[in-house]
Each structure stands twice: as structure tokens, then as C-alpha cells.
Amino acid sequence: KQEVTQIPAALSVPEGENLVLNCSFTDSAIYNLQWFRQDPGKGLTSLLLIQSSQREQTSGRLNASLDKSSGRSTLYIAASQPGDSATYLCAVNRDDKIIFGKGTRLHILP
């Protein structure tokens, strides 16, 4: 059974710092992995999608990497801003079942 873990559960960093969020999964036979952000009381917004054949994807200040063999993905946020404060979730797709981690709650301190 696929399990997805995100550590830490919560993180506070000063504005301007670079940071890394972690996602690990137990079954490496995945189709893809997707990172989302969720603001309080809102829906999910897709940030980056990495297909199983890819190693990384970039969008603006965000960079996501994928290492299938070790069952790990990271989301790198450069030059963090208060507007980056949100919960970040990763989700893996295997055999049409998409399993989410419980998320990392990120707080950027002004």
C-alpha cells in the first residue's frame, strides 16, 4: 500500500530565506508526483507536476525534484515571501490511485 509522508508537519522561516519541503513515498512505481498549495479554507492549487520519467520541474521561484529510486521528492522555494505562507501537499499517482501526504504548514515570518 502506497504511503506518502511529509516532514516536517509545520515550518516557520524568516522572509527571504530559501527552504526545502520534503515528500517521501513507499512504492516507487508511480506515474507522476504533484505538488499543491492550499490556503486556509480554500481548495488546492497545483504548483508543479513531475512525470515518472522526469527528474525536476521549475516554475518561477519553485523547483521540484523527483528521485523515484529513493522514493523522495523535494520542493525548493527560493527567496521566500509572506505570500508563500500556506499548506503544501504532495500527491503520488500509482495505478490511477492518487495518494496525498498530510502536508507541511509553512509560515513565512515578515
Q: Alpha-carbon distance 100 to 25, whole Å? A: 10
Nearer to other proteins (CB atom), residue 1 or residue 14: 1
Q: Does 99 bind other proteins (CB under 8 A)?
A: yes
Nearer to other proteins (CB atom), residue 69 or residue 96: 96
| In the block, residue with C-alpha cell 523535494 | 74
Q: Alpha-carbon distance 76 to 84, whole Å? A: 12
The correct pick among 65, 66, 103, 108 for binding other proteins (CB under 8 A) is 103
CB distance 72 to 84 below 8 Å: no
Q: Alpha-carbon distance 13 to 4, whole Å? A: 24
Which window, 13-21, 58-66, 78-86, 99-107, contacts other proteins (CB under 8 A)?
99-107
The three grid cell numbers given for residue 5, joined into one nine-digit string: 509522508
Q: Does 90 bind other proteins (CB under 8 A)?
A: no
Q: Does 98 bind other proteins (CB under 8 A)?
A: yes
The correct pick among 23, 64, 66, 91 for binding other proteins (CB under 8 A) is 91
What's the residue count for the chain? 110
